[in-house]
Amino acid sequence: MLDTPNVDRKGRRREQTRREILDAAWQVAREHGLTAITLRDVADRVGMRAPSLYSHFDSKHAIYDAMYGEAWTEYEEATRLGRDGLTDDMRAAAHQIARGFFDFAVADPVRYQLMNQRIIPGFEPSSESYAPAVRVLEASYTAAAERGVTDLDDVALLLALLGGLIDQQLANDPDGDRFSRLLPRAVDIWCDGVGIPSGTTPQETTP
Amino acid sequence: MLDTPNVDRKGRRREQTRREILDAAWQVAREHGLTAITLRDVADRVGMRAPSLYSHFDSKHAIYDAMYGEAWTEYEEATRLGRDGLTDDMRAAAHQIARGFFDFAVADPVRYQLMNQRIIPGFEPSSESYAPAVRVLEASYTAAAERGVTDLDDVALLLALLGGLIDQQLANDPDGDRFSRLLPRAVDIWCDGVGIPSGTTPQETTP
DNA sequence: GTCTATACACCGATAGAC
DNA sequence: GTCTATCGGTGTATAGAC
């Protein structure tokens, strides 16, 4: 983490240009798909020629890498607030986290594809961009352990179930809520299966 | 389904060339990944120039399409034998089908990616190539219904769970069996959750 | 440093000679 | 059917203007 936030003028200008490039890349991705990003298209939208992007990113994959890091950081921050207010009751907490992640994924499918699906041919995130993803995962294991679920396999099972439901939702009912509606029951079944007591779980309200 | 099996000499020769092209394409995919297939590479392996492939396939996507149909047909035939010998006991049948699909997926990750993940940018299977996939899905719902599971959501839940476990296995432990070992317990939890009686489920043997 | 112009190698696809 | 030649597109490297 060598990048200081760059308080000097030049550094701030540079940072702003990077921001514009990334915003343009997200824009292209949401319009035409993640794999349809081309350097020429991105450059056009920020008023540059394609090769000029290399002054700010080492390669196209470096742009994907920055986007990947952004996406996981967004989720980390979105859930941090929720984490403070996370119930002590494991079952309720499981519902809360599952719902949060599910909705976060469905709210921006392109972002989720980048975060959790291997859709860009040669791309693997750098360790720096991967860091927030690791932190989120570790926080999940910790939160579970603090609430009595100490078997790592149990948490892995919940995450697999959650990912499977999200995949089905995005692939087979992208504009509906068929699998979203299945989520609460799926979480309850998991809780029952791994022996989590019922506690005082308020039924999820669907307003 | 206009293609008759082509008994005349020319038709058989033509069919054989298509086979060689598809075999070469599978070979490239397994060596360098599904998205790394190039027409020039495939053509080289069958002793042709790239444009000549267009005498046999309308486009690169048409090659992917044929591969997609092949993959699902393979699974359909692999599981048909198993289907005849499928137990009446729902719990045992669930274990049997889940294990069969999981192992089929893990045995050839590239094939599974083509079947169940949207990894090729613009590709969607033709209705003809999609047909075996639909048949397999319908057969699953029918088999479940015949064994007392009439709620479509219950089956969808099992399939989501199964897909989630496979994804995790391929993405996070491609050479191991961490999630494969979780499968029996996951299926049992599902069975318990949707109210399937215990029956006489023999524990899965791990020889 | 930042950007442009140019160029390269590769891709899928097409046209037309044989 | 298969070839050669070629097209418009891509990511990317580099030289040089400012």
Q: Does B189 touch chain A (CB under 8 A)?
A: yes
Q: Which nucleotide shows the minimum CA-to-C1' distance to residue A54?
A: D12
Same-domain pairing of A46 and A144? no
Query: How far lies A57's CA from each of A15, A24, A153, B142, in Å?
Result: 12, 14, 39, 53
* Residue B207 belongs to a domain: no
* Residue A106 belongs to a domain: yes
A207 pLDDT above the threshold of 70: no
Same-domain pairing of A68 and A161? yes
- How far apart (Å, rounded) are the C-alpha atoms in residues B114 and B116? 6
Of B28, B57, B86, which closes a domain?
B57
Same-domain pairing of B28 and B81? no
Q: Does B107 touch chain A (CB under 8 A)?
A: no
- 3-class secondary-structure state, position A88: coil
Domain count, chain B: 2
What is the predicted pLDDT for the residue at B11? 87
A68 pLDDT above the threshold of 60: yes
Segments of chain B scoring below 70 in pLDDT: 1-6, 200-207
What is the predicted pLDDT for the residue at A117? 95
Same-domain pairing of B173 and B110? yes
Q: Identify which of B121, B168, B188 has the shortest CB distance to residue A156.
A: B168
AA letter at A130:
Y
Residues of A in contact with B33 (CB under 8 A): 121
The mean pLDDT of A86-107, rounded to a whole number, is 97
Same-domain pairing of A13 and A28? yes
The domain spanning residue B18 has which CATH number? 1.10.10.60
Same-domain pairing of B134 and B37? no
DSSP H or E segment with residue B98 = helix B90-107
Q: Identify which of A153, A157, A165 has the shortest CB distance to residue B160.
A: A165
Q: Does A182 touch chain B (CB under 8 A)?
A: yes
Please report which confidence band the pLDDT of residue A82 belongs to, taking 50, 70 and 90 as the band edges.
confident
- Please give the residue that has the higher pLDDT: either B1 or A56: A56
CB B36 within 8 A of CB A121: yes
DSSP H or E segment with residue A168 = helix A152-172
Q: B178 is written with which tokens?
A: 């961490």
Of B30, B57, B84, which closes a domain?
B57
* Residue B205 belongs to a domain: no
Q: HEC profile for B181-201?
A: HHHHHHHHHHHHHCCCCCCCC
Residues of A in contact with B161 (CB under 8 A): 160-161, 164, 186
Average pLDDT, chain A: 93
* Residue B187 belongs to a domain: yes
Same-domain pairing of B95 and B121? yes
AA letter at A13:
R
* Residue A207 belongs to a domain: no
Closest to B185 in 3D by CA, of A92, A101, A160, A180: A160
* Residue B206 belongs to a domain: no
What is the predicted pLDDT for the residue at A200? 62
A36 pLDDT above the threshold of 70: yes
Same-domain pairing of A73 and A14? no
Closest to A79 in 3D by CA, of A47, A25, A115, A32: A115
Residues of A in contact with B179 (CB under 8 A): 156, 160
**Interface size between A and B, measured as CB pairs under 8 A:** 90
- Tell me which residue range forms the domain holding B26: 1-57
Same-domain pairing of A78 and A131? yes
AA letter at B84:
D
* Residue A180 belongs to a domain: yes
Of A20, A35, A57, which closes a domain?
A57
For chain A, give me the number of helices (H) and strands (E)? 8, 0
A156-199: per-residue pLDDT in tens?
A: 999 999 999 999 999 999 999 999 999 999 999 999 999 999 87
By percentage, how much of chain A surpasses pLDDT 70? Answer: 93
Please report which confidence band the pLDDT of residue A8 belongs to, taking 50, 70 and 90 as the band edges.
confident
CB A45 within 8 A of CB A24: yes
* Residue B120 belongs to a domain: yes
Same-domain pairing of B5 and B51? yes
Same-domain pairing of B95 and B116? yes
Query: How far lies B95's CA from each of B59, B80, B182, in Å?
Result: 40, 16, 12
What is the predicted pLDDT for the residue at A3? 52
The domain spanning residue B84 has which CATH number? 1.10.357.10
What is the predicted pLDDT for the residue at A128? 97
Same-domain pairing of B49 and B111? no
Q: Does A168 touch chain B (CB under 8 A)?
A: yes
The mean pLDDT of A41-60, rounded to a whole number, is 96
